[in-house]
Amino acid sequence: MRLATVEEFETGIGWPVIALGNGAHVSLERIAVQLDLVGTDEYDCFLNMELALARLELIQKRIQEWLKKFGEEYAATARRDGKLGLQSPNFLPPVQHPRSFRDFYAFEEHVKTCRAKRGLEMPPAWYEVPVFYFSNAGSLIGHEQPICAPAGSQELDYELELGAIVGKGGRDIPEGQALEHIAGFTIVNDLSARDLQRKEMSVGLGPAKGKDFATAVGPYLVTLDEFQDRIDEKGRVTLEMKARVNGKVLSQGNASSMYHAWPKLIAQASRDAELFPGDLIGSGTVGTGCILELGPENTGGWLKPGDVVELEIERLGVLRTPIVERPA
């Protein structure tokens, strides 16, 4: 099941939707209305993505009921229906306002290459425990939303990441139960201002302002059941990953190359802390997945106004981010 949040044209409010196989989208609210759920204790779950994720099994069951009753009829006319932004939808992040965004550092190739560029060895502790930083959950942007480099930066970079979105919350989640807490996966572009990041991390803290301005997420949250044939016994998921700038492939990797697998990341994130439905967890950058790793001299330089970044992950689609001039 492919879920998204789209912006209603008239009000700008975000509505959770499901993508149908023919490219059309239908709002979860419409599904609830047509199933006569208004006034029941289920109705609110169809209006809010976090609530929908918390009761995902129920939502999936109701959607299957709706598809049998109304799906064919709706699909025939959906492309002409712009009321809820369903015709050429304006995508927001799948979860607009998660309580938290933890970004891990789970791909060895990325970590080793970036540290080597600074003359640093791999710290032994990296192999012992998955580490993360808290990024700005309030700066998430959606598919096709333009961004500019933050003030004072000349070294704007993309980062190709797989994101997991929490469904069932929990605390001190055992690794053996961790996958039960993932609602599904999405694409994350952890945009980075490398010059700002380099300076602030020399102090021993961060990244902070080097990441604080924008992180692109989406377009879709694809539910975990769509990946059962791609998840191994350790909880790694096999998905091809690519990054293009202006149509040219710069980065290629696979999510299965994570050193620390998803169960370990979920267990670490929830250790002595509560995870909530909708929380975003990033994998960290796949090997070769950024200009810093590849070297700006090999990619045509850092990102600049007029560039278009496309991150593509198998079964998840394409997340597109145009780069624009900073407003005067």
pLDDT tier at 85, thresholds 50, 70, 90 = very low
Whether the predicted pLDDT of 279 surpasses 50: yes
pLDDT > 90 in the chain, percent: 83
pLDDT digits (tens, 9 = 90+) for 106-163: 999 999 998 888 888 999 999 999 999 999 999 999 999 999 999 999 999 999 999 9
Q: Specify the DSSP element, H or E, that contains 223.
A: strand 215-223
pLDDT value at position 76?
A: 66
The CA distance from 105 to 258, in Å, is 9
CA dihedral 24, 29, 35, 38 (to 10 degrees): -170
The average pLDDT across 200-219 equals: 92
Per the listing, tokens 């096999």 go with 238
pLDDT value at position 82?
A: 45
Mean pLDDT of the chain: 93
Q: Which of 139, 152, 29, 124 shows the shortest CA–CA distance to 84?
A: 29
Q: Specify the DSSP element, H or E, that contains 200.
A: helix 194-201
Residue 25 CA: distances (Å) to CA of 20, 28, 153 = 6, 10, 38
pLDDT digits (tens, 9 = 90+) for 296-326: 999 999 999 999 999 999 999 999 999 999 9
Query: Which domains, from first to last, does the chain contain?
Result: 2-91 (no CATH), 95-322 (3.90.850.10)
Quick one: CA dihedral 91, 263, 121, 202, positive or negative?
positive
Whether the predicted pLDDT of 96 surpasses 90: yes
The CA distance from 150 to 100, in Å, is 22
pLDDT digits (tens, 9 = 90+) for 17-76: 999 876 778 899 999 999 999 999 999 999 999 999 999 999 999 999 999 998 777 766
What's the whole-model pTM score? 0.95
The CA distance from 125 to 25, in Å, is 45
Task: Give the contacts of 222 (CB within 8 A, at least 6 positions apart).
Answer: 1, 2, 3, 184, 185, 186, 315, 316
Do 102 and 282 touch, CB atoms closer than 8 A?
yes
Tallying the residues shown for the chain, one arrives at 328
The average pLDDT across 288-292 equals: 97
pLDDT digits (tens, 9 = 90+) for 155-195: 999 999 999 999 999 999 999 999 999 999 999 999 999 99
The number of CA neighbours under 13 Å toward the Cβ of 195 is 11
Distance in angstroms between the alpha carbons of the first and the last residue of the chain: 42
| Phi, psi for 237 (deg, rounded to 5) | -115, 130
pLDDT value at position 66?
A: 94
pLDDT digits (tens, 9 = 90+) for 210-267: 999 999 999 999 999 999 999 999 999 999 999 999 999 999 999 999 999 999 999 9
pLDDT value at position 81?
A: 52
